[in-house]
Chain A
Amino acid sequence: MRSYIKHILHVGAFLLVLAMAVFLAGHYLMPHSNRYLSGYTAGGILGEDFDTIDVLVMGDSNAAQGISPMQWYCDSGITGYTYASGWLSVYNIYYRLRSIYEEQTPKVVILCTDVVYSRMGDETELQAAIGDITDELIPLVRFHDNWKDLTLQNLFEEHDYSWRDTNKGFTPITTVGASTRGDYMYNDGSREPIPALVRLYLERIVALCEEHDSELLLITVPASSSWNLARHNGIQGFADEYGLTYLDYNMAGLDPGIDWRTDTPDGGSHLNVLGAQKLTAALGACLTENYALEDHRGQPGFESWDKDAAAYTEIITDAAARNQEAADYQISVLEGTA
């Protein structure tokens, strides 16, 4: 018996030391700037002043390329941020949302639902869940490859997480690659079930938003190559069950006017600037109509937003012009006049 206890204590002490070493190594391997904390420019949210974001958009690359919160600020003074990066899963989003709540108190959380059905490669649901949850709980696993960026000089440097993104998480894409899929939301009467673990984490996100008095809004970014009515029905069922508002911008009734010949850079997987402007405008109209969101323009404490808005206007004007040029060329190719 005594040797059992001795062995258990021995193992416990070893695991404790190992855990400390793992978390210490994880700390040193975290990026030195929040610019590189996540894909696209999601990490920029850490550079925003506390409690300044009223609308938080969370999703994957569809959201990062499709929703431009700075446009809302320019139009109606709503402060928003798109926290999105490639292949972000529901599991990642749950943990990231939890950490964002430590610094921000968004009144509305918009969850882009394509993350519910997207999965990388041939991973099983369980593998994907375990991989993503481990990434979130053990920083060393998520940032392990950063050893390549370490030097003796920067190893012990303080982390600087004050970088702000002028575009507030939006990444403008100015190329065009037409989608020729035609009607992708035809009704075959089916409903794609939400995978069990994904559903569990969706429920946790719903509970987390309730706990922080945020209204959760489910939306689907137009994506002709990956979305369909069966998926819409799956999400609608979940929204109905939890009394959530669900706006699927792929549905004819909500179509923000996406022209699949010109508004996508990659055959309908994502939106380009032209598509993003339409979607952002439609979503912005919904936000101003249905949620009591303050106009922060000119308010004290939001000077940086006014400055960013000016820079954003220049960036987006230039990007839209380049995108329009590419769109005109695409149309001429499709019409055979190029």
Chain B
Amino acid sequence: MSYNSFIYLFPFLSVSWLLWALAPQKWRPGVLLGASLVFYYASTQRYIVYILLAAAVAWGIGLLLERLNDLQAQTRPLLPAAERKSFKKQVAALKKMTVTGGVVTMAGILLFVKYLPFGARVLSQLLETLPGAPVLTVPSFVQPMGLSFFTLMAISYMVDVYRGTCKAAGRYWQVLLFLSFWPHAVEGPFDRYGALSPSLLDPPRPAYRDLTFGIQRIVWGLFKKMVIADRANMYVKAVFDDWTQYSGAATALGVLLYTLQLYAEFSGCMDIVCGSAELFGIHPAENFRQPFFSATVGEFWRRWHITLGAWLREYVFQPLILSKPMQVFTSFCREKVGPTAARQWPVWAGLGITWALIGLWHGAGWLYLLYGLYYFALQWLGELAEPALIRLAPGLPGWRKTRPYKLFQVLRTFLLVNLGMLIFRANGVWAALDMLRRLTIPYEGSLLIKVDARDMAVLAAGALVLFLVDWLHHRGHQLRAELSARPLPLRWAVYIGAVLAVMIFGAYGDNYDPAAFIYAQF
């Protein structure tokens, strides 16, 4: 059930909302759970078993950790002072074993289903170089919807309970609701149990403002997805799928439109899901904050798919940096190279691993690994080059505060992100390299590839509207709140205009191939 389908928007969402609004308060979480399971089952049928299993493991581990905490709290004061320390140590070791078991199980499900075929392929290719080595064949498994999202959210839940940053859920259905909550079940955002559970388990009363604001955000998301992303897809698909036929301006426009498509589609999807949750008074974490106003690629990734970056920073990068092997590596750097290396090299190693994981999270393949490492290389080289740049241009720190330099930074980041998008969308590593080469070859054909001039006009107008809305948000405007204070004729004109724009200019119906949400496949 796609988020922009009629079935989702009308029968599913409206019936769920009515049932939720009419239900007594104590039944409302039950309505949300029922709707989530219906949504999940309608989309994946029997593969629902994966999420049921993941919720059972996370819930069990959470309870066990809570019991161990209780045991410690109750038993420790009763023990003689001499035994308290060793008891605390034993409980800590047990807790660590428990959470490790949970994390390994969850990561195991993800690795087994998503990455085992890729791993076997890589191993097989390595073995091919040895004479008489066996050829490994591993069947590929059907990946249940949202696997990469609910497994990581389950890990964050268990680790948060372990760290004591959130309380364990007392009942299985509470964890199941958190993991399967339909607005974040397909493409995220990666919510945290501690942040979402209060409104999820005890939702606020139905509110007119939540209802209207939620619908407005859904319509805005549909505009991005159906008017901009799906129309750009026609050009993008032609250029990337048949890349050897195009070069120069045609390829460059394809890359540019893919960046527009991915941004409009992913952020549009987030608008639809956050708007859907807002109808029920629930506010999932935001995943985008006007990323194309970023001055650096590092900042871009703090504004793009925010919750994935935050998840990896908190549950991979930080534990990695503080891990024993990394401390050994730090000592080694200090002794063998020097204090600067001891400060920088472990961080770079941690960043390298984290960026590789960001790449691989998007898919099991060399291309995705290259995508992640591309951003690592940009940041790493940027830091390495910084001292040399300062030496070459001593006035640089001063220029950086000027407006033209800030604009230059934004444009530079935009260009680098576009190159990253080329890698991300290309049909393999060699295709990506070939497309990069082809960018330098002039193109003499028409730029209207699978689209006409009117499609291009709609795309340009859509991109302009998107830019203006992002710019106003960037400047601190709260557009929905500000609009709600305007006179009724103006408000209604804007709302009706938005709905008509989606219905008229949306790329749907017989003349278009329906494009699935890109991030839903991850």
Q: B1-38 CB contact bits vs A (8 Å, 1 = yes)?
A: 00001110001000000000000000000000000000
Q: Which residues of A contact B467 (CB under 8 A)?
A: none
CB contacts under 8 Å to A, within B485-522, are 492, 495-496, 499-500, 503-506, 508-511, 514
Q: A17 contacts the other chain (Cβ, under 8 Å)?
A: yes
Q: Which of B5, B454, B499, B500 has its CB near the most chain A CB atoms (within 10 A)?
A: B500
A147 part of interface (Cβ distance < 8 Å)? yes
Contact B7 A148 (CB under 8 A): no
Contact B503 A147 (CB under 8 A): no
Which 9 A-B pairs give the minimum distances between C-beta atoms? A7-B208, A148-B454, A144-B504, A130-B6, A21-B496, A145-B511, A147-B504, A18-B496, A140-B503
CB distance from B312 to the nearest CB of A (A): 34
B6 and A147 within 8 A (CB): no
Residues in A with CB closer than 8 Å to B454 are: 147-148
Return the CB mask of B399-440 against A: 1 if under 8 Å, else 0.
000000000000000000000000000000000000000000
Complex Cα spacing A134 to B11, Å: 13
- B positions within 8 Å CB-CB of A: 5-7, 11, 208, 452, 454, 492, 495-496, 499-500, 503-506, 508-511, 514
The listed residue (A3, A18, A25, A135) touching B504 by CB distance below 8 A is: A25
Q: Mark A100-141, 1 if CB is under 8 A from B, else 0.
A: 000000000000000000000100001100110011000011
Query: Can you spell out 22 A-B residue pairs with CB atoms less than 8 angstroms apart?
Result: A14-B495, A18-B496, A21-B496, A21-B500, A22-B500, A25-B503, A127-B5, A127-B6, A127-B7, A130-B6, A130-B7, A134-B6, A140-B504, A141-B503, A141-B509, A142-B509, A144-B505, A144-B508, A144-B509, A147-B454, A147-B504, A148-B454
CB within 8 Å of B: which of A13-38? Answer: 14, 17-18, 21-22, 25, 29
Per the CB 8 Å criterion, the residue count for chain A at the interface is 24
Contacts of B500 in A (CB 8 A): 21-22, 25
Using Cβ atoms and an 8 Å threshold, which residues of chain A touch B509?
Answer: 135, 141-142, 144-145
Bound-complex Cα distance A126 to B38 (A): 15
Q: A13's closest neighbor in chain B, by CB?
A: B492
Interface of B: prevailing SS: helix
Q: What chain B residues lie within 8 Å of A130 (beta carbons)?
A: 6-7, 11
Q: Does A161 contact B (CB under 8 A)?
A: no
CA distance A163 to B496 in the complex (A): 35
Chain A residues 142 to 165 lying within 8 A of chain B, measured CB to CB, are 142, 144-145, 147-148
> Known contacts being A7-B208, A87-B510, is A22 close to B5, with CB within 8 Å?
no
A147 touches B7 (CB 8 A): no
Q: Is the CB of A126 within 8 A of B208?
A: no
How many residue pairs at the A-B interface have CB separations less than 8 Å? 49
Bound-state Cα–Cα, A161 to B116, Å:
61
Identify A17's interface contact among B11, B208, B492, B503, CB under 8 A: B492
Residue of B nearest to A142 (CB): B509
A residues near B208, Cβ cutoff 8 Å: 3, 7
Q: What separation, in Å, do the CA atoms of A145 and B500 have in the docked complex?
A: 12
Are B504 and A29 neighbours in the complex by a CB distance under 8 Å? yes
Contact with B along A1-14 (1 / 0, CB 8 A): 00100010000001
Q: Are B505 and A147 in contact (CB under 8 A)?
A: yes
Closest residue on chain B to residue A87 by CB atoms? B510
Residue of A nearest to B454 (CB): A148
Instruction: Name the residue among B11, B454, B496, B506 with the largest chain A CB count within 10 angstroms.
Output: B496
CA distance A87 to B509 in the complex (A): 12
Residues of B within 8 A of A131 (CB): 6
CA distance A239 to B231 in the complex (A): 44
**By the criterion CB–CB under 8 Å, are A148 and B452 in contact?**
yes
7 more contacts with CB within 8 A, not counting A131-B6, A148-B454, are: A17-B496, A22-B503, A127-B7, A144-B503, A144-B505, A145-B511, A147-B504
Q: Mark A235-276, 1 if CB is under 8 A from B, else 0.
A: 000000000000000000000000000000000000000000
Give complex CA distance A44, B505 in Å: 28
Contacts of B495 in A (CB 8 A): 14, 18
Give every chain B residue within 8 A of A29 (Cβ-Cβ).
Answer: 504
Q: Nearest Cβ in chain A — how far from B25, in angstroms?
A: 17
A87 to B208, CA, bound (A): 42
Contacts of B510 in A (CB 8 A): 87
Min CB gap B305→A, angstroms: 28
Residues from chain A with Cβ under 8 Å of B503 in the complex: 22, 25, 140-141, 144
Cα–Cα distance between A131 and B8 once the two chains are bound (Å): 12
For residue A17, give the distance in angstroms from its CB to the closest CB of chain B.
6
> What is the chain A residue whose CB lies nearest that of B513?
A121
Question: Who on chain B is nearest to A6 by CB?
Answer: B208
Q: How far is the CB of A11 from chain B (nearest CB, A)?
A: 8
Residues in B neighbouring A147, C-beta threshold 8 A: 454, 504-505
- In the bound complex, how far is the Cα of B495 from the Cα of A7, in angstroms? 17
Query: Which residue from chain B places its CB closest to the CB of A146 in the assembled complex?
Result: B504
- Interfacial chain A residues near B508, Cβ < 8 Å: 144
A127 surroundings in chain B (CB, below 8 A): 5-7
B2–chain A nearest beta-carbon distance, Å: 9
B-chain residues with CB within 8 Å of residue A126 when the two chains form the complex:
7
Complex alpha-carbon distance, A191 and B514, angstroms:
32
Closest to B506 in A: A144
Q: Which of A22, A130, A141, A145 has the most CB of B within 10 A?
A: A145
Docked complex Cα distance between A282 and B514 (Å) = 40
B517 CB, min distance to chain A CBs, angstroms: 15
Q: Shortest distance in angstroms between B512's beta carbon and chain A's nearest beta carbon?
A: 8
